[in-house]
Amino acid sequence: MIGAKKAIRFFMVLIAFSTTLVGWANEGSEHGHKSEDNGRIDDPVEINEYIQHHLKDSHYFNFFSIGEHHYGFPLPVIVWTSGGLKAFMASEFHHDENGDVIVEKGDVNLAMIHGHIYELEEGASDVEFNEEHHPHNAHKVLDFSITKSVVGMLIAALLLFLGFGALAKGYKKGPIPTGVGRALEPLVIYVRDEIARPNIGEKKYKRFMPYLLTVFFFIWILNLLGLTPLGFNVTGQIAVTFCLAIVTFLITQFVGNKDYWKHIFWMPGVPWPMKIILAPIEVLGMFTKPFSLMIRLFANMTAGHFVVMSLIALMILLKNQFGAVGSTGISLVLALFISVIELLVAFLQAFIFTMLSALFIGAAVEEHDHH
């Protein structure tokens, strides 16, 4: 398919960039929050902490938990320390006598604190916290770990390669693809005719189709993965949405023609005193546009997951009022209703991100006639 090589390069850069940023943005604890009653969570505060924990990224891939037992597998930890590159599995982190999660790698001691990986100062064997409960004898390392969000992006990339590979093979056999390609073709045509052509223009839209198709299907598949029991929340990670938004920002700036820059710094047809006032506003607008892309996708997907998990938690909170069966029924009905809406939101957020990206790019390449 046209632009396949560009799509592959985009995925590699995006995943590499996101891997680093996700390591820095991850704030969640790796082990969750449990009450002392055999890991049972039945308090509103504990439920809220549990939901927030599961919305964040992790160095572990947990399928489910029963009491204090977690069923899943650890993920590779890859960090750059003062002693060079260190790579190991997250399962090597263990609690020391002070309760800190420590791993020794050569002459470097590493600690995992609230999902972040820190390097302890030379000679330190445990973490010391200040009054604000921040470590003061450790510093963050450059984290390239394969976290749960990175696994989700790799799965989405694999599904895209398989799906569009099937579509490309289908076109080689005839004008009408079959199988998976036949299901993808209407969406490809939709992106082309409803997003790219109207916003970029008939003459220039083909140049940006590889990016628009890639970002649309990438976000859509990640959003759908977030609705599965696997518990992905990739588009709910600010680092991932930042990477997607910054790619749109860079493309917009690099393809901008002279008319685009003229309308930013010296708007034609406007009195010069107003040009001086409008220029800083237009420059600020260059950065608020990708910022809105980043926040919109992040906030909507995070809010959706939070609402679904909160509704499921109703079976615990309402157990005394409606009984176990009644509270479970109410919780499941409401959660199912919201989940169906989330299927629409998954597509809608991919459409909005792609449409606004096309709109920004179209404004940058548009030719203006000044009389």
pLDDT at 321: 59
In a domain, 22, yes or no: no
Q: Are 145 and 19 in contact (CB under 8 A)?
A: yes
Whether residue 65 is found in the same domain as residue 207: no
Strands 138-140, 116-120: pairing is antiparallel
87 and 232, same domain (yes or no): no
Same domain, 218 and 337: yes
Last residue of a domain, one of 122, 145, 168: 145
Same domain, residue pair 107 and 169: no
**pLDDT for 49:** 66
Check whether residue 181 and residue 68 sit in a common domain.
Answer: no
Sequential DSSP letters for 19-87:
HHHHHHH----SS----TTTT---SHHHHHHHHHHHHS--SEEEEEEETTEEEEEE-EEEEEETTEEEE
How confident is the model at residue 173, as a pLDDT?
A: 79
370 lies in a domain? no
Residue 335 resides in a domain = yes
In a domain, 265, yes or no: yes
In a domain, 299, yes or no: yes
In a domain, residue 371? The reply is no
pLDDT of residue 16: 47
Q: What is the pLDDT of residue 285?
A: 86
Last residue of a domain, one of 145, 161, 191: 145
Same domain, 226 and 359: yes
Structural domain that includes position 41: 27-145
Tell me, yes or no, whether 122 and 245 share the same domain.
no
Last residue of a domain, one of 85, 119, 145: 145
Number of domains present in the structure of the chain: 2
Same domain, residue pair 250 and 173? yes
- Is 243:150 a contact under the CB 8 Å cutoff? no
**Pair (80, 174) in one structural domain:** no
| pLDDT, averaged in runs of 10, over the chain (371 residues) | 50 47 40 45 62 74 68 85 86 66 80 81 74 76 88 92 87 78 88 93 90 94 86 86 94 88 81 83 89 90 76 65 61 74 89 94 78 46
Q: Quote the CA–CA distance of 364 and 63 in Å, as a whole number.
A: 45
**CB-side neighbour CA atoms (13 Å) of 251:** 23
| Predicted TM-score (pTM) of this structure | 0.79
In this predicted structure, what is the pLDDT of residue 43? Answer: 60
